[in-house]
Structure 1
């Protein structure tokens, strides 16, 4: 998939989150996609009060939600409109992500994409470009291959060949 096609496709998936989901459009309303290419999505979040804990710093739950969303969008950048369901999500917090008015940047990468599972990593950096958190997110994607909004022809050749074999009974 070209960078342009990946950008357009991921933007349409992000729009569907705004329309169909309750959490992401509420909690992550200030999240902006900055760069998209096949297998990688860069985004940033302007931190507002609702993103912070009682200490006034970015809440770990906000970061965990961005690991979930970022991993899903990294999977989408490979051609899946329905990005599957989470089977595992982990976050390691290294330092404060910032305060109200600061921006935190995320880079989500689809590390491995198979017929059943997709594995993603999300790294978070503060305004000083310091690594503040890292997350991993595993998605069960087997059922997502039936979504009519997918761009299956854009998926890796191994997946296309396997899908073709299943469709023809080989």
Structure 2
């Protein structure tokens, strides 16, 4: 288990409790591993995730790029993961059908600086910038084929300003793996 897995799961639970879209579309999305700047997750494809051809809908993948990028940013120490400025998805092969599993890895790609305190930014080589965080997500279908790749840019300046220090998991947090 990666050291950032509990905080990533905690932030995912917050999305599921507070958001309108994610709990409806992705209630069974599972974070399987997380280290600083990188989060692995997976989803068992159900009818709710498919289009009229009964294959994984591109909108499901786009929503997973959005959420995955946010989780990658969270793994760098932000609880509030900013707002999207752009999102792009390239579909490369079929993502799957009902009963298949899609797996993804989200990475925080930008190397610029790390937030230190509410008034002090410092250059460290970490992947979250002072203003923008650039993330990428790669998807593999059940056959192990590259199914899609996405990029997601997030405005994080105000999110960093709202936190006095990097997010750490509350002692009483329930972060058990989802079934």
**Shorter-chain TM-score: which interval?**
0.7 to 0.9
What residue number does 1:124 align with?
139
Distance in 2 of aligned mates of 1:12 and 1:149: 19
How high is the TM-score relative to the length of structure 1?
A: 0.85
Structure 1 residue 30: Cα displacement:
1.6
What SS does the aligned partner of 1:115 have?
Answer: coil
What residue number does 2:122 align with?
none
Q: 1:30-109 residue pairs with structure 2 within 5 A?
A: 30-109=28-107
1:13 aligned onto 2:28: no
**Unaligned runs of at least 5 residues, structure 1:** 154-170
What residue number does 1:138 align with?
153
Structure 1: which 4+ aligned runs deviate by more than 4 Å?
A: none
Structure 1 residue 95: Cα displacement:
1.1
Structure with the higher fraction of residues in helix conformation: 1
Structure 1 residue 149: Cα displacement:
8.1
Structure 1 residue 57: Cα displacement:
0.3
What residue number does 2:171 align with?
none
Structure 1 residue 3: Cα displacement:
3.6
**Unaligned runs of at least 5 residues, structure 2:** 111-127, 169-179
Q: Does the CA-based 8 Å contact 1:80-1:149 persist in structure 2?
A: no
What residue number does 1:147 align with?
162
Distance in 2 of aligned mates of 1:149 and 1:44: 32
Q: 1:150 to 1:30 in 2, by over 3 A?
A: farther
How high is the TM-score relative to the length of structure 2?
A: 0.81
Q: 1:152 to 1:43 in 2, by over 3 A?
A: closer
Q: 1:122 to 1:98 in 2, by over 3 A?
A: same
- Counting matched residue pairs gives 151
Structure 1 residue 152: Cα displacement:
6.0
What residue number does 1:165 align with?
none
